[in-house]
């Protein structure tokens, strides 16, 4: 072996064979990072709360919408802005869209394009301390009522009502209810139930029946119009595969298993 001891020769052999493998591993890693960097990122405003979206990204819509965008070849990033500001930013193209809104907003915000496949149903509901208070129009127009600024369905429904208070977010809304500044808080049923349990609120109830059930949709700024059919097709596939229903049972309907306080 030309004077090379077996041990030294084996060491050199391992260096020669392992070095190309190490280089290949580094190249694969860099290639993966490059592909990730090349994947377009869309930033959508999100006003949802648990169980739909969560800080750790484990909510129902985190899973469903994240998978939709992945299948469409883009990455989804959510930012949290006040509801009204989020719509204005999306329409202006500052963000790429808005996560969950009722149908028809494209009439008021012409730069927004709706992904036509329904993302989910929202149950618009009233919450109050008096569980016997009926949730209907007379209650809403004769008692102090609060809602989150920018929720268009409530803004239209309460037009002309004499005792309406707006809040920036759900925490502020329910604080107003607890402090008796309002008698009725208007919010979404499942997010309201989650908030009551998460914050340990006592004596606050979802009034029956829910005020309305509405289909909710993703909106994108018009510069992303070409992506709309891809996202709609991805969501239809997620539903057809049964993934959508499984996630909804696990992450949303499980709230009904434990009665609210």
User: In the beta sheet, which residues pair with residue 219?
Assistant: 98, 114
Question: Angle, nearest 10°, between helix axes 243-251 and 228-240?
Answer: 80
Average pLDDT, the chain: 87
The per-residue pLDDT for 32 is: 53
CB 240 within 8 Å of CB 121? no
CA distance 29 to 24: 9
Instruction: Tell me if 148 sits within 8 A of 112, measured CB to CB.
Output: no
Q: Which residues pair with 166 in a beta bridge?
A: 147
Domains 39-120+218-257 and 122-212 fall in the same CATH topology:
yes
CATH number of 122-212: 3.40.190.10
Handedness of CA 164, 169, 170, 175 (dihedral sign): negative
Dist CA 182 CA 260 (whole Å):
20
DSSP state at residue 225: G
Distances in Å between the Cα of 90 and the Cα atoms of 50, 83, 114, 219 are 22, 11, 12, 8
Confidence at residue 135, expressed as pLDDT on a 0 to 100 scale? 76
User: Where is 217: in which H helix or E strand?
Assistant: strand 212-221
**Alpha carbon 237 to chain centroid, angstroms:** 19
For residues 178-203, b (16+ Cβ closer than 10 Å) or e, as one string? eeeebbbbbbbbbbbbbbbeeeebee
Rounded to whole angstroms, how far apart are CA atoms 240 and 71?
14
pLDDT at 259 over 60: no
> In the structure, what pLDDT confidence band is assigned to residue 26 with cuts at 50, 70 and 90?
low
What pLDDT, on the 0 to 100 scale, is given for residue 23? 60
Q: Is the predicted pLDDT of residue 141 greater than 50, yes or no?
A: yes
Tell me the per-residue pLDDT of 204-236, one tens digit each, with 9 for 90 and over. 999 988 899 999 999 999 999 999 999 999 999
Distance CA 243, CA 89 (A): 32
Q: In the structure encoding, which two tokens stand for residue 195, read together? A: 């908030």
Q: What is the CATH number of domain 39-120+218-257?
A: 3.40.190.10
pLDDT, tens digit, for every residue of 46-92?
999 999 999 999 999 999 999 999 999 999 999 999 889 999 999 99
Higher pLDDT, 169 or 8: 169
For 57: left if phi > 0, alpha if psi spans -120 to 50, otherwise beta; the answer is left
Q: What 3-state DSSP class applies to 227?
A: helix
Domains of the chain, residue spans: 1-38, 39-120+218-257, 122-212
- Per-residue pLDDT, 246: 97
Q: Which one is predicted more confidently, 162 or 28?
A: 162
State the pTM of this model.
Answer: 0.79
- H helix or E strand, kind and range, residue 124: strand 120-128
Cβ-based neighbours of 146, under 8 Å, separated by 6 or more:
164, 165, 166, 167, 173, 176, 177, 181, 182, 184, 185, 186
């Amino acid at each position: 072996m030309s004077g090379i001891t077996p041990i030294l020769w084996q060491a050199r052999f391992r260096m020669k064979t392992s070095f190309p493998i190490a280089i290949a591993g580094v190249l694969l890693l860099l290639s993966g990072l490059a592909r990730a960097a090349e994947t377009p990122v869309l930033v959508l405003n999100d006003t949802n709360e648990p169980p739909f979206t969560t800080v750790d990204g484990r909510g129902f819509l985190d899973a469903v919408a994240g998978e939709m965008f992945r299948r469409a070849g883009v990455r989804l990033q959510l930012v949290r802005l006040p509801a009204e500001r989020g719509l204005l930013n999306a329409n202006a193209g500052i963000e790429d869209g808005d996560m969950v809104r009722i149908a028809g907003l494209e009439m008021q915000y012409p730069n927004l394009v709706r992904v036509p496949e329904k993302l989910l149903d929202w149950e618009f509901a009233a919450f109050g301390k008096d569980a016997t208070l009926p949730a209907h129009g007379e209650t809403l127009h004769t008692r102090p009522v609060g809602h989150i600024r920018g929720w268009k369905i409530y803004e239209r429904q309460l037009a002309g009502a004499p005792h309406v208070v707006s809040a920036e977010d759900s925490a502020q809304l329910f604080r107003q209810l607890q402090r008796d500044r309002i008698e009725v808080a208007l919010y979404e049923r499942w997010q309201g139930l989650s908030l009551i349990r998460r914050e340990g609120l006592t004596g606050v109830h979802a009034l029956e029946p829910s005020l309305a059930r509405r289909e909710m949709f993703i909106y994108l700024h018009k510069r992303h119009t070409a992506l709309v059919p891809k996202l709609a097709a991805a969501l239809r596939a997620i539903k057809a595969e049964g993934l959508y229903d499984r996630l909804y049972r696990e992450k949303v309907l499980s709230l009904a298993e434990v009665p609210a306080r």
